[in-house]
Amino acid sequence: ILIFRPPMKHEVDKNKAQWKTMGPAKVAVPCPKNFLKKHSKEPKLPERKKEQDSKKLPALSVPRRTDRPVMGIQSNTNFIKTNAIAAVKGLPKKPQPISVDTRQGDKYVLETSGLVPKYIKKKDYGVTPKYLKQRNEEMKRAQEEYEASRLEYLKKIAMKQLPDEERRTLLQGLKKNWDEVYSEFQRLPVNIDTISKKMYKQKLESQLKQLEHDIEVIEKHKVIYIANE
């Protein structure tokens, strides 16, 4: 470490001496004539060109003050006679229909009041609008698509009809089961004082209710369909 100490010290002193003035020792000093002037940093616009047609005035839609009307034009038309003939041959002006709603004579135009049935005289009065027809067609198309998909689903599950013999056999078996459960129900004791007896009674009652429901359904519907598993 002592061997490399003198060169390191010399290098540190050499670099440190250059920055004793808080920056480089030699700095280019600006010229006093190149000072910042007012508006020197603002953008400069190009010079405006003089238009050649600037002296031309725009075209006016009204006559000028110095213009003179054309004089000397004469017409041989007798306007008094023409107006008299037009008044005699012209159709009389129809009075505007009005409505009076108060005793003081307050009146208003009848045509714009909404009391005249003008809407019912239109050509399209009572005709179904186009958007309603389009909506009805879309609903009908959607219903047909739903029915087709439902029919396809029923065809897939392929339900079969229960034959009459099997229906009678099923009905007889349900009635037989009902008789057996009912006989068990009648053999119950009058005094049911234990939890097990109460639960057994409720079980028999639920079985009787379910069997009665099944018997009623089979007797009510003569045709029964069964889905293939």
End residue of a domain, out of 109, 131, 158 = 158
Domain contains 57: no
Q: Are residues 149 and 196 in the same domain?
A: no
Q: Are residues 124 and 143 in the same domain?
A: yes
Q: Are residues 136 and 165 in the same domain?
A: no
Domain contains 4: no
Q: Are residues 207 and 151 in the same domain?
A: no
Distance CA 169, CA 167 (A): 5
pLDDT in tens, the chain (229 residues): 556 677 777 777 776 655 566 666 667 788 888 888 888 888 888 887 766 555 666 676 788 888 888 888 888 889 999 999 998 888 888 888 888 888 888 888 888 887 888 878 788 888 888 999 999 999 999 999 998 888 787 777 666 777 888 888 989 999 999 999 999 999 888 888 888 889 999 999 999 999 999 999 888 888 777 766 5
What's the gap between Cα 216 and its chain centre?
A: 52
* 8 Å CB contact between 224 and 164: no
Domain contains 197: yes
| Domain of 180, in residue numbers | 160-226
* 8 Å CB contact between 204 and 180: no
Q: 65 — phi, psi (to 5°)?
A: -70, -30
- Could you read off the pLDDT of 1-47 as tens digits, one per residue? 556 677 777 777 776 655 566 666 667 788 888 888 888 888 888 88
Domain contains 9: no
Q: Are residues 107 and 127 in the same domain?
A: yes
End residue of a domain, out of 142, 158, 174 = 158
Domain count for the chain, please give it. Answer: 2
H/E segment holding residue 219: helix 195-220
Domain contains 93: no
Q: Are residues 167 and 110 in the same domain?
A: no
Domain contains 201: yes
Distance CA 149, CA 107 (A): 66
Domain contains 76: no
Q: Are residues 171 and 141 in the same domain?
A: no
Name residues whose C-beta falls within 8 Å of residue 134's C-beta, 6 or more positions apart in sequence. Answer: none
DSSP code for 124: T
Domain contains 192: yes
Q: Are residues 111 and 135 in the same domain?
A: yes
End residue of a domain, out of 158, 192, 209 = 158
Q: Are residues 111 and 165 in the same domain?
A: no
The residue assigned the tokens 């009041």 is 113
- pTM score above 0.75: no
Q: Are residues 127 and 174 in the same domain?
A: no
